Every structure is written in C-alpha cells, then in structure tokens.
Amino acid sequence: QQQVKQSPQSLIVQKGGISIINCAYENTAFDYFPWYQQFPGKGPALLIAIRPDVSEKKEGRFTISFNKSAKQFSLHIMDSQPGDSATYFCAASSGGSYIPTFGRGTSLIVHP
Amino acid sequence: KAGVTQTPRYLIKTRGQQVTLSCSPISGHRSVSWYQQTPGQGLQFLFEYFSETQRNKGNFPGRFSGRQFSNSRSEMNVSTLELGDSALYLCASSLWNSGDTQYFGPGTRLTVL
C-alpha cells in the first residue's frame, strides 16, 4: 500500500520557469513532511521540510505548500535552473512510528 | 562535520553469495537507518538501529539483517543473494530516530549476477 503518492513521475521545465511537484498522503498521523533532492550517483539530500502547524514554508527558491484538510503538500521551485535537474522525493513520517514513507520520486529536467 | 560514509561504493556479487555493507553515521548521530532504492520500487525502508538495537524493521525477508556497534557504525548483511537484490543501498543517520531529519550517505551500488 502506497501511503504517499507523488506526481508527476517526470517533469520538464524551461529555465526560469516554475516546477511544481505534488504529494498526497493517507495517514493522518503523519506530522513531518520533508523533501529530498537526489543527483545521479549521490544519496538523497534534505532540501526543505514542513510540519502541519504551518501552511507554507519558503527557503530561497524552494517553497512547500501544505494543505492539511486535503492531505496534500507540494514543492514549488521558482526560477528553475539547469542545476536543479535532479530527482525529488517527498516523504512523510510520524513521531509515533519513526519510519518515514517516501514518494516514488519525480525526475526534474530544467532546459537551459 | 563529516557526512555519512558508506563502503564499499560498488559491489558485484553472484547469486547465492552473501554481502556486508558498512555505514558510518555523522558524529553524534545515534540512529542509523537502511534503505533499498530501485527504479521499480523507489526508496524502501529496511531497518533502523539505535543504541545497538534494531528499533524498527521494514517488510523485507530475513535474508536482510543488520547490526549497530557501540560507536553507532552500522553494517547490513544480505545472505543468499538473489538477482532482485540488485539495488542502491542507502544508509541514513539522524540524531534520535528515523522520523527526525535524516542525512543520507552516497549509497552502495550492489549488482547481483
């Protein structure tokens, strides 16, 4: 059972555009929602994370929007750059289980 | 601070063999988690160790095992390798538990022939 559904599977954006990746979860006990960025040959690296007590968090060009009632959260990459080309994973975890559940990943390509 | 390190980075084995992978967490981190990453299944949680004890376990067969040492370094072992075990094995460390911010190593690429 996939508890975190991520879309789209792949995304192609022009330089300067906005990249949007969406995730939906089922378990209402989840209370921590990180996003990871993974480059080929590297392990995932934490990009930005949010807890459900806020609806939005922004760090530089990266913004997480969180909709608790819809059980959805999304990553927005503003002014996308070719260096942002990577695979992005959303994840969710709860303080009770400590086991994070990952989305399937989104392969982002930013064309120059 | 040094990041999470994993050895070896690449490994080629044949079916039926066993393999041991090693992970050194970030200094001060006591929780170490292991993941299997494949194109078909994505990132799947294997197990988590804290203070030398397995605290959580994912849905993998008993051929997959691990341990943690007193210095928080961890090893995972896969016995009787199958072709389907070919994957990138990632180790992640965090301060207290896998629900905290996790920092991943570069992974070990295992190929089973």
pLDDT in tens, B10-36: 999 999 999 999 999 999 999 999 999
Cβ pair A76, A19 in contact under 8 A: yes
Mean pLDDT of A55-82: 96
Alpha-carbon gap, residue A51 to B27, rounded angstroms? 26
Cβ pair B61, B53 in contact under 8 A: no
Size of interface A-B (CB pairs under 8 A): 55
pLDDT of residue A96: 62
For residue B28, what are its two tokens? Answer: 């001060």
Residue B100 has pLDDT above 60, yes or no: yes
Alpha-carbon gap, residue B96 to B101, rounded angstroms? 9
> Any idea which of A4-13, A40-49, B16-25 has the lowest mean pLDDT?
A40-49
A99 closest CB neighbour out of B56, B101, B107? B56
Mean pLDDT of A6-24: 97
Helix, coil or strand: residue A83: helix
Residue A97's pLDDT band, with cuts at 50, 70 and 90, is low
For residue A65, what are its two tokens? Answer: 């929007």
Best of A99, A102, A106 to disrupt the B interface by mutation (most B CBs within 10 Å)? A99
pLDDT of residue B96: 80
Minimal C-alpha gap between A99 and chain B (Å): 6
Cβ pair A64, A56 in contact under 8 A: yes
Q: What is the mean pLDDT of chain B?
A: 93
Closest chain B CA to residue A41: B106
Cβ pair A34, A21 in contact under 8 A: no
- Which residues on chain B are in Cβ contact (under 8 Å) with A30? none
Query: Phi then psi for A50, rounded to 5 degrees?
Result: -140, 150
B48 closest CB neighbour out of A98, A101, A102? A98
Query: Phi then psi for B102, rounded to 5 degrees?
Result: -105, 145
Cβ pair A57, A50 in contact under 8 A: yes
- Which residues on chain B are in Cβ contact (under 8 Å) with A32? 99
- Which residues on chain B are in Cβ contact (under 8 Å) with A98? 48, 55-56, 97-99
pLDDT of residue B28: 92
pLDDT of residue A100: 81
Residue A9's pLDDT band, with cuts at 50, 70 and 90, is very high
